[in-house]
Structure formats: structure tokens, C-alpha cells
Structure 1
Amino acid sequence: MKAKYSSPQQFFRQRRMRLTVVLVILLLIYFGSVLLVNFNTFSSLAQIPAGLVWLFKTFIPNQHTTTYLGPIFYQLWRTLIVSISSTICAALLSLIFAVLGAKTTSPNRVLQLTVRFGASLLRNIPVVAWAMILLFSFKQSDFTGFLALFFMTLGYLTRAFTETIEDLDTEKLHALQAVGANYFQCVFCGVLPEAASTMTSWVLYMIENNIRDATLVGILTGTGIGFLFNQYFKSIRYDAAGLIVLLIAALVIVLELTSTQIRRAIA
């Protein structure tokens, strides 16, 4: 800072100036977008309270809603199974790819770059796009939803596992190599035991995330709790649709609390 700025006051003045410029640019972009789409900001904000009142009045379950519990719980269970199974299958493959793609464990540079490119490609395609692409080949089915979640999770976990392995202390790995351990012994005895806790946390996080994504995927694939929500919503059975939203939220909270306890146990 001494070489570039003559005083601390000049340094902070320059930072305030840059922040002001960024804010002005963002405001210009916002107002330009508003003009292009003819969006009235103030009237829209004024309608929010009335919209929230209508939402809470319409989507609150009532006594009649209990008649929908059977099919709702059945579809919620199917969605949970698809989410967990796709995550577990993706995690197993991601573990293999991560070992091959990490700088510290990759057998060669070409394989490392190939794995990294593939993981980036898979995870940067949204799960909704995966579902729409796979619909052409596998039609509306649970398997389509499974594959959509699987491919997105595979890319995400491969990248997360790769970074986890690279962040590990390499002293244990070097020690195993020094005593003559082969490649597989170094991986299974030096890398995976150290990374197991962090990797498990990533898997639990993806299960929680996939439960939420599976609802949206189900609307496209015509399966699971997403399809049932869409069906109730379109048939103006808002009380049943509201019950589905509450049950999904409750399920995600239960999974989050459970995963938190598991993380604490393995930490």
C-alpha cells in the first residue's frame, strides 16, 4: 500500500470511488432492464402484501386435505428413494473419478484434465436441462428423474471430492510411498481414510439438495411428488398443493437435522 498510495486516506478514497462506480453501473443496468421489459417496480412492490395474504389463505390445508395424505406420502417416498439412490450411485463413481482427477493421486496429466473437464461439463448443466434432454430418450419415468439427478450430482461430487483430496496433507502419502507402498495402498490407506469425513458431509448435503431438485424434476418427468403437486395445482386443489409444500419442507428439515447429527458423529 505504501508504494501505490501516499496515505491511508487515499487508499480508502480509491476504494469508495470504485464501490460507487460499481453501484452506479448496477443501477444503470437495473433501470435499463426495467425500461426494456416495461416493469413497474413500485406498483409491483405494493402488490406483494395482498399476494402473500392470498397465498396463505389459499394454500393452507384444511380438514378435507387429509384425504390426500395417502397418495402424497406414497409419491413423497418415491421421490426420497430416487434422490437417495441417485446420490449414492453418483458418489461411488465420483470417488473413483476424484482419485483419478486429483493432482496428488492422478496417474497422469491427461487423465486428470479429462476428469476435471467432464466434471465441469456435467455440473454446469442444470438439473432441469438434464431432465429435458433425457426426456427425449427415456420418456416420462422415474428412471429419467434418476438419471437427471445422477449426472448433475456426479459432476458436482467429482469436483468436490477432487478438491477434498487435493487439500489433504500429503505427508502421510509421501511416507507410504517412501516405505514402498503401491498406488492402491497409498489411495486406500493414505487418502481415503483422511478424506472420508469430508466426503460423507458432501454426500449428505447432496441428498438434501436432490430432494428439493427432485420436486422440480418430477414436474418435467411426470413422476414423484413434483408431478402430484403440478396435478393438484392445475386442478385448483390448492389445499392439497399447500400440504405437499409443507411436507417437502418438513422432510428437508428432518434430513438436514439428521445429516447434522451424522456429521458431528464422524467429525
Structure 2
Amino acid sequence: MNEKVMRNHRKRQTIIFSIIIIVLTYLSSDITNFNIIHGIATLPEAVKWIFSNLFINGETLERLPKILEKLAETILMSIAATTTATVVSIFLGIMGSKTTGTSTALGMFARFVASIARNIPVVAWALILLLSFGQNSVTGYLALFVGSVGFLTRAFIESIDEASLSAVEALRATGATYFQIVYKAVIPQCLPQMISWILFMIETNIRSATLVGILTGTGIGYSFDLYYKTLNYNAVALVTFSIVLSVIVIELISNHIRKVIL
């Protein structure tokens, strides 16, 4: 009897949730004057335009060295932003974790920094920093750095909180210092997860760096924006293909590293 009641209750919840989604979708389409049927109907034309304009020819391949140079700049900037943010995030993660935190005030501060940095999009950070630093690679680096600190700090706090307390208590019973406990008991347990989060952040930053580059005038994003505004769609296709290929390669490398460490 109870199972039947619970099943009916879940069914009602599903129906109510579906109705809410449909109503919200309709209201959103009406407010934004977006016609879903018209959008679906124009898909064939959009696909036709893509295959007609976004293709790589021999003339475009001459631009490949310059595009690869900009792509390398974007990848290196993403890695630099992630690695430096990792150092800051480790300290904030240790401060914010309930397992290793030494002060409630410091813990609240670490979580506050992580919340602010994470909840403001990287693009918004780029626009904010653009006013102070102008269009250059420093602005792009700082935008990615701040976003990475927010995400990694939150991830590290959760990873440290999930660490086993038995090793911590064992070292504490032997009279080990706070730093010895963190270095010998906490970090070794969390290291595989931390490395996995760092690799994920590098992948994410490479994707984000393309959009940030459009705003800051740097990296592969600048090349994409330049060719797009000059209607050089063949070069746009080559830039897009280079970005997609690089992200796939880096993701494969990251997945392989995760399999080794986890």
C-alpha cells in the first residue's frame, strides 16, 4: 500500500514538474519573441550555410602557422592561470575545510572568496578587468585565474572534507604538528582528486580562453574575431577546427592521466 502511495506521489510530482517546465518554456519564448517552430524550420538552411561557407581551402592553410602560434598562446595562458590558481586554491581549501580549518573566520573567508570568484562568470571578470588593464594578455590571464580560484577552492574544500579522519587522528595522537598532519595525512589522500580537478580546469580554461580572447584581443579568440569580422569564413573554419582538435587532444591526455592516478 505504501509503495503504491509513493508511486502515485512520484507520478504527481513528475506531472507537476513537466507542466512547470512547459509553462516556463512558453513564457520564455513569448517574452523573447522566439518562435521555436520557426527556429527548427531554419535548421536545414543553417546547416547548408555552414557546409557552404565554413570549409578549409589551400589558401587558408597558409595561415596555419600564425593560427597555431595564437592557439599555443591560448593554451599556455590557460595552463599558467590554472597552475597559479592551484597554489592559491590549496591554501584556501585547507583554510575552508572543516577537517583542516583552524579558524571559523578564515574558513568563512575562504568560502566567501570561492563563492564570489565562482559565481561571477569568467566573461564578466574579463569585462571588469578590461576597464583596469585594457586589452592584453594580462587581462585574459587574470580573468581565468580568478575563475579558476573560485572553482578549485570549492573542489579542494570538498575533497579535503571527504578525506578519512583516521590518519589525521593517528598522527595527532603521536604529537605531529598541524603542518605535518596536512602534509602527511590529508594531502596524500586528496592528491589524486585534486589532480583530476586541475586537469578538468585546464580543459575548461582552454574553452573559456577562446571567448575571453575575443574580449581582450589576445590568443586564438582574437584570430577568430578578426577573421569573422572580415568575413573570412574559410579562416574561421580553420580556427574552429584547430580549437576543437586541441580540446579533444587535451581531453584525451587528461582522461589517460586520470586513469593512471585514480
TM-score interval w.r.t. the shorter chain? over 0.9
Alignment-derived partner of residue 90 in structure 2: 95
What's the secondary structure of 2:62's corresponding residue? helix
Alignment-derived partner of residue 105 in structure 2: 110
| 2:191 paired with 1:196 | yes
Deviation at 1:18, TM superposition (A): 1.8
Task: Indicate the RMSD between aligned Cα atoms, in angstroms.
Answer: 1.1
Alignment-derived partner of residue 3 in structure 1: none
Alignment-derived partner of residue 5 in structure 2: 10
Which blocks of at least 5 consecutive residues in structure 2 are unaligned?
A: none
Percent identity, please.
Answer: 42
| 2:79 paired with 1:66 | no
Alignment of 1:160-199 (within 5 A): 160-199=155-194
Q: 2:207 aligns with which of 212, 231, 237?
A: 212
C-alpha distance after superposition, 1:47-90 (max 9, x if no partner): 10110121122111111111111210110011011000000000
Distance 2:203 2:159 in 1: 20
Distance 1:264 1:41 in 2: 42
C-alpha distance after superposition, 1:148-176 (max 9, x if no partner): 00000001001101110010101001000
Deviation at 1:17, TM superposition (A): 1.5
Distance 2:33 2:129 in 1: 36
Q: Give the partner amino acid of 1:195.
A: C
Alignment-derived partner of residue 45 in structure 1: 40
Alignment-derived partner of residue 56 in structure 1: 51
Distance 1:8 1:266 in 2: 43
Q: Give the partner amino acid of 1:67.
A: E
C-alpha distance after superposition, 1:179-230 (max 9, x if no partner): 0000010011111111111101110110011000000000000111001100
Deviation at 1:16, TM superposition (A): 1.2
| 2:143 paired with 1:148 | yes
Q: 1:75 aligns with which of 70, 77, 83?
A: 70
Alignment-derived partner of residue 264 in structure 1: 259
Q: Give the partner amino acid of 1:59.
A: L
Q: Which runs of 4+ in 1 moved over 4 A?
A: none
Alignment-derived partner of residue 243 in structure 2: 248
C-alpha distance after superposition, 1:207-258 (max 9, x if no partner): 0110000000000001110011000011011011111111111101111111
Report how many aligned residue pairs link the two structures.
262
Distance 1:188 1:33 in 2: 51
| 2:128 paired with 1:133 | yes
Q: Give the partner amino acid of 2:107.
A: Q
Deviation at 1:126, TM superposition (A): 0.2
Distance 1:238 1:232 in 2: 7
Distance 2:152 2:242 in 1: 27
Q: 1:222 aligns with which of 217, 240, 254?
A: 217
Aligned pair in 2 of structure 1 residues 7, 118: CA closer, same or farther (>3 Å)? same
